[in-house]
Amino acid sequence: MRYWSVICAVGSLLLAAAVQAEEGVTQTLADAPLGGPLEVLQAPYRLGSFTHFAQIMPARPIARGGPVAELPRSPQDLSGVSYQWGGEQVTLGQHLERNKIMAYLVIKDGAIVYETYRYGTRDSTPFVSWSMAKSVVGTLTGIAIADGKIDSIDDRTTRYVPELGESGYGANSLRDLLQMSSGVKFIEDYAAASSLEARAWVEGNITRSVRYADTIAWFKERIHPPGRRFYYSSMEPVAMGWILQRSTGENLADYLSNKIWSKIGAEHDASWALDRPGGLEIGSCCINASLRDYGRFGLMVLNGGRAGGQQLVPEKWVREMTHPDPSRAFLQPGKLEGKPEFGYQHYWWLWPAVDNAVMARGVHGQGITVDFDDRVVIVQTANWDRADDPQDWLEAAALQRAIIATLRSGEVTL
C-alpha cells in the first residue's frame, strides 16, 4: 500500500522479550510513540504503529480456536548465510540490522529453524500486515467458491454487489480484480493531498464522512480495457472484499476465523482493521497477527490448503493462486509492468518459475514467502525506510534464496 507514504503528507498538511537478542538496536517498543491514523508511516511512529495498529484504527477480532498447533523446533545457525548485494557480501545479521527487521521466522519442513525478535518485539506482538491482507482476500475467494457463494471468478462484479455498477469496476470480472487488471484509473502513489485517492482514504477511513466502500463509485475513468494490463490498485481488493462480504453474508474477519484461523492452530486471536467502528474490513490491508501465526498461514498454503488434518482451502485453488494465469502473459514473472522479476496472481506475488515460490507482501517490508520445492516458509516484519522500492524486495529475495540454498545443502550447524 504505497499510497500510505503520501497519506503521511496529508497528515502533515492536516495538522519485550526476544527469542534471539540482537545488537545495535536503539529504539524499542518501550519508547516507541504511536502515531495517529495520518502519522503511522512517518519514521518516528512506524515501530509503535506497526505493532499497535488495532489501537489506532478500529478492528474486528479474528478468533482462534482449538488446540495450538505447536511448531517443532530444529534450530540452525544461519549466521554464516550471506548474499551479494551492491558489490558487497551481506550476512543475515547485517541484513536484519540495515533493513530494520522487527522479527524474522524461517520454517523448514514444518519445523522452526530460525526465529528472532528485535526492537523489543516478542512472540505475542501483533504485527500489522499492510498489503499481505490482499493475499488473504485472494485465499478466502477460493473458499467462497467452494462454499457455493461465488460461482466463478469470471462473473461480473455487479452480480454480487450491484452498487459497483456506479463505478468503473462494474464492467469488470472478479478475475480482473484479483489480478489487478481492471483498467480503472487509480493512482497508487498519492502525488498530492488533494488527489481523489487520498480524499477517498481520508474521508472513508479517517474523518468517515462517507463509507470507504462508497468511495469506490468515485473511480469511473478507464485507462485500458479490462484484463489487458497489470495496474496495481489497492481499490480492487477493497471491492473484492466487499464482494466476499456480500456473497458470504459474513464479515471478512469472521469468515477468516471460521474458515482458517480457528483451524490452523493459531496461538493468538488476530484482528482486521475496519473503515469505521462496526464497519467493513479494509480489503486492501491491515490484519494484525503474531509472527508464528503468519507462519502457520504460510504453512497451510505450502501444504496445499491443508492444516490440522482438514482441507481448508481447495487444493485446486491453491495451485491456481500460486501459478501464473497462462491466458494472461502480462502477469508472468519478468513481464509484470513496473515490478522486475516478480509475477502476480490472485493478490500473491509470484517468484520466477525456477524458484517455485510465492510471496504475500506489504508496505515497508512485511512478507510471507512460501517455497514449494524446498518446503520453506519465511516470514518477516520490518520497518523499512522506503515504503515499496523494487530494489528492497529484490534484496529481501536475495537473502531468502541464500537461506533456502543453505538449508537445502545442509551446510548449517546446530
- What is the per-residue DSSP string for 97-114? HHTTEEEEEEEETTEEEE
At residue 1 the predicted structure's pLDDT band, cuts being 50, 70 and 90, is very low
1-10, 20-29, 237-246 — which is least confidently predicted?
1-10
**Predicted pLDDT of residue 413:** 54
- The separation between the first and the last C-alpha atoms of the chain, rounded to the nearest angstrom, is 39
φ/ψ of 278, rounded to 5, equals: 75, 5
Strand partners, 349: 344, 359
Percent of the chain scored above 70 by pLDDT? 92
Residues 73/76/79/84 CA torsion (nearest 10 deg): -100
pLDDT surpassing 60 at residue 18: no
What is the arithmetic mean of pLDDT over 270-292? Answer: 97
90-94, 194-198, 260-264, 390-394 — which is least confidently predicted?
194-198
Q: Which CATH class is domain 4-143+242-409?
A: alpha beta
pLDDT surpassing 80 at residue 412: no
What span, in angstroms and rounded, lies between the C-alpha atoms of 47 and 43? 8
What is the arithmetic mean of pLDDT over 268-276? Answer: 98
pLDDT tens, position by position, 38-83: 899 999 999 999 999 999 999 999 999 999 999 999 999 999 999 9
C-alpha cell at 211: 463509507
The answer to whether the beta carbons of residues 301 and 112 sit under 8 Å apart is: no
Q: Which DSSP helix (H) or strand (E) runs through 8? A: helix 4-13
pLDDT tens, position by position, 221-249: 999 999 999 999 999 999 999 999 999 99
What span, in angstroms and rounded, lies between the C-alpha atoms of 237 and 377? 24
The CA distances from residue 227 to 169, 180, 218, 334, 341, in Å, are 12, 8, 21, 18, 21
What span, in angstroms and rounded, lies between the C-alpha atoms of 403 and 408? 9
Percent of the chain scored above 90 by pLDDT? 87
**Predicted pLDDT of residue 396:** 98
Give the global pTM: 0.93
pLDDT surpassing 70 at residue 328: yes
Q: For all residues of the chain together, what is the average pLDDT?
A: 92
Residue predicted with more confidence, 3 or 294? 294
